[in-house]
Structure 1
Amino acid sequence: MASIFSRIIAGEIPSYKVDEDANYYAFLDINPLTEGHTLVVPKQEVDYLFDLDDRTLAGMMLFAKRVARKIERQIECKRVAVVVLGLEVPHAHIHLIPIRSEADVDFRREKLSLSPEALQAIADKLNR
C-alpha cells in the first residue's frame, strides 16, 4: 500500500506544493511548527532516509537546499532548520522549518492551526 506521501505525490491527496522536479516533491506541512514549514520527500518510496541510495540522498539534499532558499526569500526567519525525524509516515522525508530561535524546532509544542486559505497563500508566496 502506498504511503500518504506517495499518494500526495501522485495527486490522489491534495497538498500545498512548494516545489517539484523529476525525483523530489516539497509541500507544506499541514500541522506546521512555523509558517512555511515544508516537507521534502523523494518520489521513490523508501521508509528510512539513510536507506536511500547515495545519489538519491545527495540529490534530495540539493533539492532541499533549493527549497530552503525559497523559504528564506519569502518567510521572515534567521535560518531554515533541517530536521530528520518521524516514524509516523513510512516514507523518507526532511522537515525544513523557518526559525527565529531553536525553540521553534520543538516538536512537542502546539502546532499552528492554519486555514486551507492561509496554507494556500503561503504556498503561493513560496512559488513566486
Structure 2
Amino acid sequence: MSTTTTTHNHLDDNCIFCKIINYAFMDIEPLSEGHSLVIPKYHAEFMHQVPDDYLADIMPLAKKIAAAGGFAQYNVLQNNGKLANQAVPHVHFHIIPKLDQETGLGVRWNPLKKSMDDIKVTYDDIIKKL
C-alpha cells in the first residue's frame, strides 16, 4: 500500500483522521452517548507500527475523557485490521460509555478450550520475541 506520508509530520494526506487536527473527537457513528475517539498524530494502520512516544499520551487522554464525561462504566477499545472491526486504517482508540444493556459496546467472549501446556507454549513463544 503506498501512502503520501511526509517525513516531517508522519501523516498521510489521504487519511481522514490525519486531516483532523485534534487528538480526540466524537465518533460520528456512536454506539452510545459520549462515544469518543483518541488518535495518535502518526499515520499507521496497526498499533504495533506506531512509535511509543506517539502513544504515550493516549491512555491519559482516554482517562480524562471518561472522567470528564462522567462515565460510570465504559470500554476502551482499539481494533487492528478489518477482521478485528477496524473501519478507518489509522490507529485509533474508542472510549465507549456503557450506559445500559442496549447501548455501548457488545462483546462476544467465547474462550478457546486450551490446556495450560498449550497456553504456556504460546506464552514462551511470545516472550522469546519480546
Please give the TM-score of this superposition, normalised by the length of structure 2. 0.59
- Computing the radius of gyration from Cα coordinates, the structure with the larger value is 2
Query: Highest relative contact order (Cα 8 Å, sep 6+), 1 or 2?
Result: 1
Which digits, 9 at most, give the CA deviation of each residue in 1:55-111, with x for residues without a partner? Answer: 222321122212221122xxxx4312101124221110000011135652128xxxx
RMSD of the TM alignment (CA)?
2.3
Q: Identity over the aligned pairs, expressed in percent?
A: 37
* SS of match in other structure, 1:63: helix
Structure 1 position 27 matched with structure 2 position 16: no
* More strand by percentage: 1
Q: Specify whether residues 47 and 78 from structure 1 end up closer, same or farther in structure 2 by C-alpha distance, changes over 3 A only.
A: same
Tell me the equivalent position of 2:54: 56
Q: Is the 8 A contact 1:41 1:92 kept in 2?
A: yes
Q: Distance in 1 between matches of 2:43 and 2:90?
A: 6
* SS of match in other structure, 1:70: helix
1:78 to 69, 72, 84: 72
Q: Distance in 2 between matches of 1:66 and 1:50?
A: 24
Please give the TM-score of this superposition, normalised by the length of structure 1. 0.60
Structure 2 spans left out of the alignment, 5+ residues: 1-12, 80-84, 108-130
Tell me the equivalent position of 2:123: none
Q: Is the 8 A contact 1:28 1:38 kept in 2?
A: yes
Structure 1 spans left out of the alignment, 5+ residues: 10-19, 108-128
- Runs (4+) of structure 1 exceeding 4 A deviation are none
* More helix by percentage: 1
Q: Distance in 1 between matches of 2:53 and 2:18?
A: 20
Q: Alignment length, in residue pairs?
A: 90
Q: Is the 8 A contact 1:71 1:80 kept in 2?
A: no
1:5 to 14, 17, 41: 17
